[in-house]
Amino acid sequence: MSDDLEVTHGGAIAVDPDALRAVADALTALAPRFVDAASAVRRAHGSLVALPTASMSVDTVALWGSADRAEALHEECRMAGENTRLMADVYELVERRAELDALEIQGKAVPGVLSDRIDELVAADPRVLEMEKWLIAGWENGRYEGLDQQFDLVQLLGAPVGTPAGGGIFAAVAALGGAGLGRLAPNATLSGSAGPVSITPVRTSAPIGPPSSIAEALRRFPESPGAQLKVEKYTMSDGSSRFVLYSRGTQPSSVIDPTEPFDMQSNLDLYTGQEAASYAATVEALDAAGARPGDELQIYAHSQGAMNAAYLASGSEFDVTVQVTAGSPLHPTLDDDQLLIALRHTDDLVNGLAGGGLPGGTGSPDSIVATRVGDPAYSVHDLWLHPHMMESYIETAEMLDDSGDVRLEAWRAKAAELTDAVSIESTEYVAKRE
């Protein structure tokens, strides 16, 4: 993958099965045309060789060879069509199984049409099951590309990667992610109570409009000292309000500040499904900004903030329509009307806890997972988890903005809706444990 950006819908599914079938149909329809072409060339060859002077001006041997090539193209085109249709069946099978798993997790009845379709796809070709395994295995093997080379402190201390000390961190991340601990079930909610927190507004401003790019949005994070959260309130012409949340991740000050809610304890709580102090603070900041149950909310979040975003989108009373995350240790299962743009670095230790997301992807059809190796060349920065830093993810966002991927139009349309606001108020908050 090097430092190139891969943009997909997420997981093992990189192409819409219906789009593949459209390609297969086109190839299948094209194949007979090559047979017709070969026949026409052979008729022309027969006519030319019957003329005594034809060989002086036409290379009849080459002409016959072009007919052979047309026949070969017919077979290649026919096989390409069949193989493309087969691959479409494999992709759909992975999607249908993901849909089946989601229903079983929710305890919902499985529609007979879904089970019948899975059986139909499996029975269509004996190669489908083996190719499904191959597809999932290839996706799983690429989820942690470069990760085993990144956290190199143990190597500098003399422990080879192959030893428990050298490979333990990578192995632990792969085990947790591979076990599915970083993948939220549909409508997941947090358990317990985080205890009292307080939020203090420290800065207000009036932006001239919403973000015009993903990279710009990631640059809008709170800048005031100690501020972890920023909420933009967009008052629309009909009197309704929409909100945009920007949330930072784990704060370095948490090492020495016991009142910091964006700390390692909150990381552990969120990853294990318990309400964290940072989540409680985030909800309080939204409330202080005027957000009420049912209000539309768009979220931009990094690391621990992205875990809070996952639970806000999955189980809160807010209408989370857009979620853009960078380096999230969790991957939510969203409804098909929720837009998810997830930025991932395969060599990001923290992002690796999400296990690469879901094999079938999640969210609306326009949802995007943008993946690359965050730091393809080892440097001293690796000691500080450089692939997980916001600066590295902003570079990825810039690459996504420049990618030309048509699915970004859905995000641009949602952002453009906010340009109709009659007023915008932005507030940064410092959250504290009480």
Q: Which of 28-42, 79-93, 149-163 has the lowest mean pLDDT?
A: 149-163
For residue 203, which amino acid is it?
R
Q: What is the mean pLDDT of the chain?
A: 84
Residue 8, pLDDT > 60, answer: yes
Q: Which of 19-23, 224-228, 297-301, 411-415 has the lowest mean pLDDT?
A: 19-23
Q: Round to whole Å and give the CA distance between 395 and 173.
A: 24
Q: Which positions ≥6 away from 384 have C-beta within 8 Å?
A: none
Domain boundaries, the chain: 15-141, 143-433
Residue 13, pLDDT > 60, answer: no
Q: Round to whole Å and give the CA distance between 82 and 72.
A: 16
- H-helix or E-strand containing 234? strand 229-235
SS3 382: helix
Q: Round to whole Å and give the CA distance between 300 and 322.
A: 8
**Scanning the structure block, which residue is given the tokens 């307080």?**
198
115 or 320, higher pLDDT: 320
- Position 359 scores a pLDDT of 57
The stretch 402-412 carries a mean pLDDT of 93
- Position 163 scores a pLDDT of 41
Dump pLDDT digits (tens) for 195-210: 899 999 999 999 999 9
pTM: 0.71
> Which runs of consecutive H residues, i.e. helices, occur in 143-186?
153-156, 164-178
